[in-house]
């Protein structure tokens, strides 16, 4: 059985029966059989399905949002915003697919030569709990509009969200087999990846889990897109607008209770402004307190699970033992199943967990840089490369540094990192490979076929 537990109360919500091998095989076969008819539909028809789904999400965003809030502790207002973003993305792909998938003519010696884009087949999406709707729909948009079918293996603690997604597509009349939800744990995932009816995999999650998925997929020569961990560096140069920088850092670090791959995690601050920055950051972090995520006034909910909270607290304590200084937070509150307070560590140096590891929760780390060159060096001194930001009043110079000096999949200047359907999203190094969203995400799960006519 798969049990869904409310992380704020610690109480069980519902138990789900895990799919048997027979049921898994049936879902795989339905997805495989649905591919031909779905891909043969005119693109305008598939776009119509996506638009209807977007309308459904907006109409039912309060109900769907409540499921996410109950299952993983996200503040209800953030759950609703997440669903609105999903609807925008589905509409975006419905509107842009004809352009993105249009054949590209190439001038050669042939009488006609062009590049044609066709679906790969069935894509398995292995998705995490932190954005239980966004992670799925941002993959679903380009996968389905391209003519692929999709199977979802969602995180076990958000099975209610997974079933809510399946219900949404059923209510919108999607043909049987175009999308299905696998109620399985990680123990059965390898079997699904290996199944010949699965043609490609998209995975979002930890770097360690991503390596395991990639290894199995590689054994069977299957295309993968991996969006993994991150330890985003936010560089605060000495000429930065501190009020702007602090607001962006605190907002990014505390969004979704800090449980985001692209949250601001390492604040790298020029030593000349470090003391002032720390004072302002602590005030901004302490102004936000955790509360019942179901209340519309709550801005910080609980973490998704108590074991994740305990792991984060251990990272904080081990960093302090190695010399980091605790400026605020850093304790486990009594009587709250998985809550953790906004926390700030300073004096963070190489060799500490807060420097080397991803801290997946509401903990900000401050690293002091000697100068601009040192700040860039520290930003790049990580195994990760998902996102980053740089703050400076010299926008031209900051843009040059963002473009040429910082090694990551995206860099924002004077703003915090976030995903947008119109822009490619993904990382380098241990943060994964491939891209989601935009034109580039559309091209990940199609066969880029050359046609040459003499």
Residues classed as catalytic:
227, 261
User: Between the CA of residue 136 and those of 34, 77, 155, 420, 421, what are the distances in Å?
Assistant: 20, 19, 11, 14, 13
**Cβ 280 vs Cβ 431: under 8 Å:** no
Alpha-carbon gap, residue 401 to 397, rounded angstroms: 6
**Cβ 350 vs Cβ 357: under 8 Å:** no
Angle at 82 between CA 77 and CA 87, to 5 degrees: 125
């Amino acid at each position: 059985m798969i049990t869904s537990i409310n992380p704020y109360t610690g109480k069980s919500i519902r138990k789900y029966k895990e799919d048997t091998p027979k049921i898994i095989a049936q879902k795989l076969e339905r997805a495989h059989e649905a591919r031909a008819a779905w891909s043969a539909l005119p693109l305008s028809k598939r776009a119509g399905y996506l638009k209807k789904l977007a309308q459904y999400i907006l109409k039912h965003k309060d109900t769907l949002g409540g499921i996410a809030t109950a299952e993983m502790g996200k503040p209800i207002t953030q759950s609703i915003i997440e669903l609105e973003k999903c609807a925008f993305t589905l509409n975006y792909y419905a509107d842009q697919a004809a352009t993105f998938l249009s054949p590209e003519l190439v001038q050669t010696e042939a009488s006609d030569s062009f590049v044609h884009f066709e679906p790969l087949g069935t894509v398995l999406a292995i998705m995490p709990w932190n954005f239980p709707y966004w992670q799925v729909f941002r993959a679903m948009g380009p996968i389905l509009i391209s003519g692929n079918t999709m199977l979802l293996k969602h995180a076990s603690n958000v099975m209610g969200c997974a079933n809510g997604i399946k219900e949404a597509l059923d209510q919108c009349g999607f043909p049987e087999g175009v999308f299905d939800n696998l109620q399985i744990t990680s123990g059965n995932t390898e079997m699904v990846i290996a199944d010949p009816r699965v043609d490609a995999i998209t995975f979002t999650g930890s770097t360690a889990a991503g390596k395991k998925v990639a290894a199995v997929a590689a054994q069977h020569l299957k295309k993968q897109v991996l969006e993994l961990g991150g330890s985003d560096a936010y560089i605060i140069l000495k000429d930065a607008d501190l009020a702007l920088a602090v607001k962006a850092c605190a907002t990014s670090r505390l969004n979704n209770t800090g449980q985001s791959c692209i949250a601001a995690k390492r604040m790298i601050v020029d030593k000349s402004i470090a003391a002032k920055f720390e004072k302002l950051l602590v005030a901004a972090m302490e102004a936000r307190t955790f509360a019942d995520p179901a209340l519309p006034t709550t801005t910080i909910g609980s973490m998704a699970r108590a074991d994740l909270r305990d792991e984060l607290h251990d990272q904080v304590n081990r960093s302090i033992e190695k010399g980091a200084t605790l400026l605020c937070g850093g304790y486990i509150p009594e009587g709250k199943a998985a809550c953790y307070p906004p926390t700030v560590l300073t004096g963070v140096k190489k060799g500490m967990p807060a420097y080397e590891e991803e801290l997946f929760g509401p903990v900000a780390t401050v690293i002091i840089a000697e100068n601009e060159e040192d700040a860039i060096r520290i930003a790049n001194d990580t195994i990760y490369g998902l996102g980053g930001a740089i703050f400076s009043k010299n926008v031209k110079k900051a843009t040059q540094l963002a473009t040429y000096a910082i090694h990551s999949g995206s860099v924002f200047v004077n703003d915090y990192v976030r995903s947008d359907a119109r822009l490619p999203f993904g990382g380098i190094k241990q943060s994964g490979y491939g891209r989601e969203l935009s034109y580039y995400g559309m091209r990940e799960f199609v066969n880029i076929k050359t046609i040459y006519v003499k």
